Amino acid sequence: MSELTTVARPYAKAAFEFAVERQAIDEWQNQLDFAAAVAQNDAIADLLSGAVGVEQLAEIFLKICEGKLNDHGQNLIKVMAENGRLAVLPQVATLYKEFADEQAKLVEAHVVSATELSEQQQQKIAESLEQKLARKVKLICSVDPQLIAGVVINAGDLVIDGSVRGKLNRMADTLQS
């Protein structure tokens, strides 16, 4: 996985810098997301494994993406096809999103709670995280009844485990040592 990220990073960075220059960050994100979805299609994934020549592969890929990519997006696909890198398009789209979020000072926080959180609770968590992280926070909430009560928050490298399950696990570890 890290090898794919290493291969994808220069393409994502170049696309992001190009999009910033042209003030088209969202447009490029949409193009990359679409191209990544095409690359993940089972039929296309078989073609990416080397069954088809570079020019033919780029032509097939662009025909599928017709109307969804502008001229610059099509050029990126051609360059990636020439270098045999179309398989890393999903990683390019992911890294591009990370660059865009970093510029916008936005962080996604995954909040797992034992029960569904109310709007007020979500707002309070978001405000607290925004103060702590000095960034805008986008909450992604889910429910896991195995937590018993409380929440677990993951925001980048920050992990806050305020769940009863987590407290019980830490207490068990302490008692065993």
Domain residue extents for the chain: 2-101, 105-176
Tell me the C-alpha distance between 82 and 58, whole Å.
Answer: 8
pLDDT in the model for residue 139: 92
3-state SS class at 83 = coil
pLDDT of 162 over the 60 cut: yes
pLDDT of 154 over the 80 cut: yes
pLDDT digits (tens, 9 = 90+) for 23-77: 999 999 999 999 999 888 877 777 776 666 777 888 888 888 888 999 999 999 8
Tell me the C-alpha distance between 16 and 66, whole Å.
Answer: 21
pLDDT of 2 over the 80 cut: no
Say which residue the tokens 């805008």 belong to: 136
pLDDT in the model for residue 87: 85
Pick from 83, 100, 96: nearest CA to 138: 100
pLDDT in the model for residue 177: 79
pTM for this predicted structure? 0.70
Same CATH fold, 105-176 and 2-101? no
Tell me the C-alpha distance between 72 and 75, whole Å.
Answer: 5
The CATH fold of domain 105-176: Glutaredoxin (3.40.30)
Q: Which pLDDT band, with edges at 50, 70 and 90, does 133 fall under?
A: confident
Q: How far is CA 85 from CA 62, 65, 91, 108, in A?
A: 15, 17, 11, 28
Give every CB contact of residue 89 below 8 A, 6+ residues apart in sequence. Answer: 8, 32, 35, 36, 38, 39, 80
Q: What phi and psi, each to the nearest 5 degrees, are found at residue 24?
A: -135, 40
pLDDT in the model for residue 9: 92
Tell me the C-alpha distance between 19 and 23, whole Å.
Answer: 6
Q: What phi and psi, each to the nearest 5 degrees, are found at residue 110?
A: -90, 120
3-state SS class at 10 = helix
Q: Which pLDDT band, with edges at 50, 70 and 90, does 1 fall under?
A: low
Beta carbons of 82 and 11 less than 8 angstroms apart: no
Q: Which of 3.40.50.620, 1.10.520.20, 1.10.10.60, 3.30.365.10 would CATH assign to domain 2-101?
A: 1.10.520.20
